[in-house]
Amino acid sequence: MFLEPHHAHKIGWIEVICGSMFSGKSEELIRRLKRVQIAGKQAGIFKPETDTRYDAMHIVSHDATRIACVPVVSTTSIPALAVGMDVVGIDEAQFFDDSICDVAERLTLAGVRVIIAGLDMDFTGKPFGPMPALMAKAEYVTKLHAICARCGNPANFSYRKSQEQELFLLGEQNLYEPRCRSCFHQ
Domains (ranges, CATH) in the chain?
Answer: 9-145 (3.40.50.300)
Q: Which of 39, 37, 57 is nearest to 47 (CA)?
A: 57
Instruction: Give the whole-number percent of the chain exceeding pLDDT 90.
Output: 77
Catalytic residue among 15, 27, 28, 92: 92
Would you state the pLDDT for residue 169? 64
Residue 164 has pLDDT above 80, yes or no: no
Q: Which of 7-11, 14-18, 34-38 has the lowest mean pLDDT?
A: 7-11
8 A C-beta contact, residue 18 and residue 25: yes
Q: Is 15 a catalytic residue?
A: no
pLDDT exceeds cutoff 50 at 5: no
Beta-bridge mates of residue 146 = 155
Task: Count CA atoms within 13 Å of residue 118 on its CB side.
Answer: 31
Kindly state the helix (H) or strand (E) to which residue 77 belongs, with its residue range. Answer: none
Please check whether residue 91 is in contact with residue 51, taking contact to mean a CB–CB distance below 8 angstroms: yes
Task: List pLDDT tens digits, range 96-136.
Answer: 999 999 999 999 999 999 999 999 999 999 999 999 999 99
Q: How far apart are CA 48 and CA 123, in angstroms?
A: 19
Which helix (H) or strand (E) segment holds residue 101: the answer is helix 99-109
Residue 56 has pLDDT above 70, yes or no: yes
Greater confidence (147 vs 175) lies with: 147
Among 6-10, 38-42, 114-118, whose mean pLDDT is lowest?
6-10
Contacts of 102-106 spanning 24+ positions with Cβ under 8 A: 103/75, 103/76, 103/78, 103/79, 104/14, 104/134, 104/137, 105/14, 105/137, 106/79
More reliable by pLDDT, 55 or 13: 13
pTM: 0.91
Q: Whole-number mean pLDDT of the chain?
A: 91
| Contact assessment for residue 90 and residue 72, using Cβ atoms and an 8 Å cutoff | no
Q: Is residue 8 over pLDDT 60?
A: no
